[in-house]
A and B are shown apart, each in its own frame.
Chain A
Amino acid sequence: MKKSIITVVGKDTVGIIARVCTYLADNRINILDISQTIVQGYFNMMMIVDTSAAEKEYGRCADELEELGNRIGVQIKMQREDIFNSMHRI
């Protein structure tokens, strides 16, 4: 399994999770965990996903999520989990 982290940060609005999840479902990216908070009106979400069944190239998915974020008015990033593990786990 290749785990990745998707982060969504921006101003809260209706349907953010729905639209991100629709994209993930369409691209066969499986969601393993979601955590979400709202700090001072700002939406902050982290998803742990599994991209191993995805057909598109990793870089393309990352780009498309970023574009989706631009359309909704939030910042969306998808990064491999390893960068966070290497920094925060010994």
Chain B
Amino acid sequence: MLNIFEVSETNKMIEQENLDVRTITLGISLLDCIDSDLDKLNEKIYGKITMLAKELVSTGNDIEKEFGIPIVNKRISVTPIALVGGAACKAPEDFVSIAKTLDKAAKEVGVNFIGGYSALVSKGMTSADENLIKSIPEALAVTERVCSSVNVGSTKTGLNMDAVRLMGEMVLKTAECTKEADSLGCAKLVVFCNAPDDNPFMAGAFHGVTEADAIINVGVSGPGVVRTALTKVRGENFEVLCETIKKTAFKVTRVGQLVAREASKRLGIPFGIIDLSLAPTPAIGDSVADILQEIGLERVGAPGTTAALALLNDQVKKGGVMASSYVGGLSGAFIPVSEDQGMIDSVTAGALTIEKLEAMTCVCSVGLDMIAVPGDTKASTIAGIIADEAAIGMVNQKTTAVRIIPVIGKGVGETVEFGGLLGYAPIMPVNSFSCEAFINRGGRIPAPIHSFKN
């Protein structure tokens, strides 16, 4: 039988260490909404989302109350819109009308984000893909809750450098279109390599075409819990350190698994996966950077950071995998800058640079995330940063992503405030040497060879 110490341990994690379920994301396939008439398409999309997600928020709230565990976000991901809108949309403006429909549906059912305004162009772009990508700046400017992502490469196909170049331009244009709000649009736009089909986390969530009609995916969190556990093993060797992270990740993930099963049962929608990610928030004590510092770094960015992060990421997976029947999504440690107070402090202190962050992305779950750069950064430079990150993902057979915000009208030394879970960020300097001739070559970078690994 349960004892009082176990019960108070769990409640202490929830009350003092920010243990929560970060998101219940309902994935919805829109493939059966496809129509060559744009109005009909919009009508069907709105109808299907509002029907399936009608109970999502209230069910999430009920579970939260009954189990006493906060469920921070309830969200929706849909089939990449470039596929859904291809038959009806002949121009970028047509796609924008779908973005508005998604926004309206999200507001109707009460979710705070809806992901899937996406195109998968790892090898080539159809005209629909290209139109969707060109519509992203306007779509993100005229909507509030829509999130967009574009997959520009994979280990199997190589990198679509035409798409990389285009995305460099679109990131900058999105920043321009939302400059009144400190270029907030870019916080809702992710460029992926090896994008997973079942990621529940925004802004990169979409419902892959290999998925069922509807599915429940859950993202757990708990950096504060891991950090607190590590304060008890200060000075111990790596074996003890790793065991502690593993056990804690197990406990955190079991709560996610419970919530996912419960949500799936109550909504009558199958359970997909648990995403094991350690997702920080700007709240004090809810920081991945703090864990790295507890492991023994003075600041994130100091020598040893990449090794510490590699260890953390691996132990989180090892502990989490046993706690859940199906694991997927991005599963690892997120290292966004603006959403993590410890990261912000490290940047401000001059310990952490974009180059070090790039090295860290080789061993963590995603990539360069929520990084604010000067507004006068060139499109080709942004494309170069995307290409570098995508190359890391392609060669290492992992998901990588770039969510970078060129803040129009601001420069290095200034800060930008996004608010809420998106936090705030100091603007980081970017290497100013040009890669324009490289980016303008056009075409594709071939897929890497998979044998002769040495």
A44, A48, A58: the one within 8 Å of B1 (CB)? A48
Partner of B66, one of A58, A87, A88: A58
Asked if A40 is at the interface (CB within 8 A of a chain B CB), the reply is no
Which of B1-42 touch A at CB < 8 Å?
1-4, 6-11
Per-residue 0/1 for B103-128: is the Cβ within 8 Å of any A Cβ (1 yes, 0 no)?
Answer: 00000000000000000000000000
* Closest chain A CB from B55 CB (angstroms): 15
Do B65 and A62 touch (CB < 8 A)?
yes
A30 at the interface (CB under 8 A from B): no
* Cβ contacts under 8 Å, A44 to chain B: 4, 8
Residue of B nearest to A9 (CB): B8
Chain A residues whose C-beta falls within 8 Å of the C-beta of B67 in the assembled complex = 79-80, 82-83
Is B215's CB within 8 Å of the partner chain A?
no
B257 and A81 contacting across the interface, CB-CB below 8 Å: no
Cα-based distance from A33 to B3 in the complex (angstroms):
11
Q: Which residues of B contact A41 (CB under 8 A)?
A: none
Count how many chain A residues have C-beta atoms less than 8 Å from C-beta atoms of the other chain. Answer: 25
Q: A7-B7, A35-B4, A84-B2 are in contact. Are A79 and B68 (CB under 8 A)?
A: yes
Indicate if the CB atoms of A81 and B2 lie closer than 8 Å.
yes
A61-84 vs B: 1/0 string, CB under 8 Å?
011000000000000011111111
Does A5 reach chain B (CB closer than 8 Å)?
yes
How far is it, in angstroms, between the C-alpha of A77 and the C-alpha of B70 when the chains are bound? 13
- A interface footprint on B58-82 (CB within 8 Å = 1, 0 otherwise): 0000100111110000000000000
Taken together as a complex, chains A and B put the C-alpha atoms of A44 and B11 apart, in Å, by 12
Q: Is the CB of A86 within 8 A of B255?
A: yes
Interface centre among B65, B251, B255, B262 (most CB of A within 10 A): B65
Once the chains bind, are A82 and B258 in contact (CB under 8 Å)? Answer: yes
| Cβ-neighbour of A35 out of B3, B11, B255 (below 8 A) | B3
Taken together as a complex, chains A and B put the C-alpha atoms of A79 and B66 apart, in Å, by: 5
Task: Note all chain B residues with C-beta closer than 8 A to A63.
Answer: 65
In angstroms, Cα B254 to Cα A34, docked, is 26
Chain B residues contacting A87 (CB-CB under 8 Å) are 6, 10, 251, 254-255
Q: Which of B1, B3, B4, B258 contacts A83 (CB 8 A)?
A: B258
Interchain CA distance A9-B255 in the complex, whole Å: 22
Known: A48-B2, A77-B68. A84 touches B7 (CB 8 A): yes
B6 near A84: Cβ-Cβ < 8 Å: yes
Considering the chains assembled together, what is the distance between the CA atoms of A5 and B8 in angstroms?
11
Are A83 and B255 neighbours in the complex by a CB distance under 8 Å? yes
Closest to B63 in A: A80
- Quick check: is A15 within 8 A (CB to CB) of the other chain? no
Say yes or no for A13: interface residue by CB 8 A criterion. no
List B contacts of A59 (CB < 8 A).
62, 65-66
Encode contact with A along B244-260: 1 for CB under 8 Å, 0 otherwise: 00000001001101100
Query: Cβ of A33: which chain B residues have Cβ within 8 Å of it?
Result: 1
Q: Mark A37-60, 1 if CB is under 8 A from B, else 0.
A: 100000010101000000000110
**Residues of the B chain whose Cβ atoms lie less than 8 Å from the Cβ of A9:** 8
Report the separation of the CA atoms of residues A63 and B262 in the bound assembly, to the nearest whole angstrom: 21
Task: Name 14 interchain pairs, CB-CB below 8 A, sorted by A.
Answer: A5-B2, A5-B7, A9-B8, A35-B4, A44-B8, A62-B65, A62-B68, A77-B11, A79-B69, A80-B66, A84-B7, A87-B6, A87-B251, A88-B6
Q: Give me the interface of B with A, judged by CB distance under 8 Å.
A: 1-4, 6-11, 62, 65-69, 251, 254-255, 257-258, 262
Contacts A80-B66, A87-B6, A87-B251 supplied; 5 other A-B pairs, CB < 8 Å: A80-B67, A82-B258, A84-B6, A87-B10, A87-B255
